[in-house]
Amino acid sequence: MDDLRTKYLDAIAGAGDESALEDLRLQAVGKKGEVALKMRELGKMTPEERQVMGPKLNALKDEINSALAAKKSALADAALDERLRTEWLDVTLPSRPVRQGSVHPVSQVTEEVTTIFADMGFAVAEGPQVEDDWYNFDALNIPAEHPTRTEMDTFYMHRAEGDVRPPHVLRTHTSPVQIRAMLEQGAPIRVIAPGRVYRADYDQTHTPMFHQIEGLAIDRDISMANLKWCLEEFCRAFFEVDKVELRFRASHFPFTEPSAEVDLRCSWQDGTLKVGEGDDWMEILGSGMVHPHVLRSGGIDPDQWQGFAFGIGIDRLAMLKYGIPDLRAFFDSDLRWLRHYGFSALDMPSLAGGLSR
Ligand code: DAH
């Protein structure tokens, strides 16, 4: 019995890890362990022998069990000490310098334009970028055979054979949001709709994805004069100059009648644009009085209501205002470009505090 005791207490003291300890436990005090075997021999002993051996064996079993438990917690403590030693971290060290992110010019300009029109009572409306071709074309008075459909270099969504849903496109302009907003809100209505649009085109001034902002104002007596005032106010606020001059040039869009393209008086001095003076004109947007067919597509009675619409290229506005030469760089995700042309995330544009300080 003493041999058994020494054998196991020494082995337990020398065990290197928990699994070695478990093997020892099974060998010593497990159901088929050596102590159990010895206990089975009690049956063959005389009652006198048994009275001596029984308590001794039980005491040995207890002693081994408590040695096992003590060793187990010593091993756990050692493991914890080791982790604390290797995973040590000095939280008082200074952090590595992290460069602050910046706001992309497209986000900045969207924010600026939205701020200006919000001040004139326009709410923001939204629509999907993957658009039902009825909203993108038909509802805007662009029937299937109309040349605008091919001029717009439309991306069509893949259609599985047997698909009965209407064809879908990546919207080619934000004008379909006019229809969605009219159907949802009815008249009178005053909304702008900023967002992404898509056309298969790529060069220094065209990217397959770009941004527009659509405007729509419908009421009983809204006229071209209201359109002109709104756009002049907008340009004055946006370009942050007291004097702007706009030129309305007769044009054609299927969704407006009459239609006008709007040019801004400007001059180029040493490659920088000056707005409000000079002998150049820069085209900045398309606009017009909403066509009766379009009002009807939006569920609005053209005998009761009328109004204007316009569409502006956001990226183009950003290039003009902030003197950014190449549109393609807008979408390259080049950090050096973003740092150079980006805006502080903490300066929200506001009319009172300044749009682009
Ligand atoms: N949707 C036109 C385009 O992408 C822009 C436009 C022109 C929008 C005239 C309008 C508008 O709302 O009245 O080229």
Dump pLDDT digits (tens) for 89-141: 888 988 888 777 899 999 999 999 999 999 999 999 999 999 999 999 999 99
- Total Cβ atoms within 10 A of residue 56: 12
287 C-beta closer than 6 A to ligand 1: yes
Give the least confident one: 9-13, 72-76, 161-165: 161-165
CA 20 / ligand 1 centre spacing (Å): 79
Distance CA 315, CA 321 (A): 10
**What does pTM read for this prediction?**
0.73
Rg (Cα) of the chain, in Å, rounded?
40
Average pLDDT score over residue span 74-79: 92
Q: Is the pLDDT of residue 356 over 80?
A: no
**Which atom belonging to ligand 1 lies closest to the Cα atom of 175?**
1
Distance CA 300, CA 278 (A): 42
Q: Percent of the chain, pLDDT > 70?
A: 99
The pLDDT of residue 148 is: 77
CA 286 / ligand 1 centre spacing (Å): 5
Least Cα distance to 193 among 210, 212, 168 occurs for: 212
**Which atom belonging to ligand 1 lies closest to the Cα atom of 172?**
4
Per-residue pLDDT tens digits for 141-189: 999 888 877 777 899 999 888 988 889 999 999 999 999 999 999 999 9
Is the CB of residue 306 less than 8 Å from the CB of residue 222? Answer: yes
Least Cα distance to 71 among 4, 2, 23, 37 occurs for: 23
φ/ψ of 165, rounded to 5, equals: -70, 155
Catalogue the E-assigned strands of 254-303. Answer: 256-269, 272-275, 280-290
CA 287 / ligand 1 centre spacing (Å): 6
Per-residue pLDDT tens digits for 210-237: 999 999 999 999 999 999 999 999 999 9
Q: N- to C-terminal Cα distance for the chain? A: 90
For ligand 1, pick from 175, 216, 257, 312 the residue to mutate: most ligand atoms within 8 Å of CB: 175
313 C-beta closer than 6 A to ligand 1: no
The pLDDT of residue 160 is: 87
Q: Facing residues of 250 across strands? A: 260
Per-residue pLDDT tens digits for 179-209: 999 999 999 999 999 999 999 988 888 899 9
309 C-beta closer than 6 A to ligand 1: yes
> Mapping DSSP to helix (H, G, I), strand (E, B) and coil, where does residue 61 land?
helix
207 C-beta closer than 6 A to ligand 1: no
Q: Is 257 annotated as a binding residue?
A: yes
What tokens were used for 234? 């907008």
CA distances from 85 to 72, 80, 82, 88, 93 (A): 20, 8, 5, 6, 18
**Which atom belonging to ligand 1 lies closest to the Cα atom of 216?**
12
Q: Percent of the chain, pLDDT > 90?
A: 64
Is the CB of residue 135 less than 8 Å from the CB of residue 127? Answer: yes
The pLDDT of residue 109 is: 96
286 C-beta closer than 6 A to ligand 1: yes
CA 135 / ligand 1 centre spacing (Å): 14
195 C-beta closer than 6 A to ligand 1: no
179 C-beta closer than 6 A to ligand 1: no
Q: Facing residues of 264 across strands? A: 246, 282
The pLDDT of residue 353 is: 74
What tokens were used for 263? 């040019």
66 alpha carbon, distance to own chain's centre: 59
Is the CB of residue 244 less than 8 Å from the CB of residue 264? Answer: yes
Is the CB of residue 291 less than 8 Å from the CB of residue 141? Answer: yes
Average pLDDT score over residue span 37-49: 88
Nearest residue CA, atom 4 of ligand 1?
173
Nearest residue CA, atom 5 of ligand 1?
311
CA 311 / ligand 1 centre spacing (Å): 4
The pLDDT of residue 170 is: 96
Distance CA 119, CA 283 (A): 24
Per-residue pLDDT tens digits for 257-297: 999 999 999 888 877 778 888 999 989 999 999 999 999 99
CA 310 / ligand 1 centre spacing (Å): 6
CA 238 / ligand 1 centre spacing (Å): 19
Single-letter code of the amino acid located at 89 = L
CA 253 / ligand 1 centre spacing (Å): 7
Residues 287-297, buried b or exposed e (16+ Cβ, 10 A)?
bbbbbbbbbeb
Least Cα distance to 124 among 139, 136, 110, 135 occurs for: 110
Nearest residue CA, atom 6 of ligand 1?
311
190 C-beta closer than 6 A to ligand 1: no
Nearest residue CA, atom 13 of ligand 1?
287
Is the CB of residue 189 less than 8 Å from the CB of residue 181? Answer: yes
The DSSP annotation for 117-172 comes to HHHTTPEE----SEEEHHHHTGGGT--TT-THHHHTTPPBPP--TT--SPPEEE-S
CA 271 / ligand 1 centre spacing (Å): 28
The pLDDT of residue 357 is: 62
Q: Enumerate residues 6+ apart whose C-beta is below 8 A from 300.
A: 182, 186, 187, 218
Q: Is the pLDDT of residue 70 over 70?
A: yes
Distance CA 65, CA 152 (A): 84
The pLDDT of residue 190 is: 98
**Which atom belonging to ligand 1 lies closest to the Cα atom of 212?**
4
Per-residue pLDDT tens digits for 302-332: 999 999 999 999 999 999 899 888 889 999 9
Catalogue the E-assigned strands of the chain. Answer: 123-124, 130-132, 168-170, 189-198, 209-219, 246-253, 256-269, 272-275, 280-290, 306-313
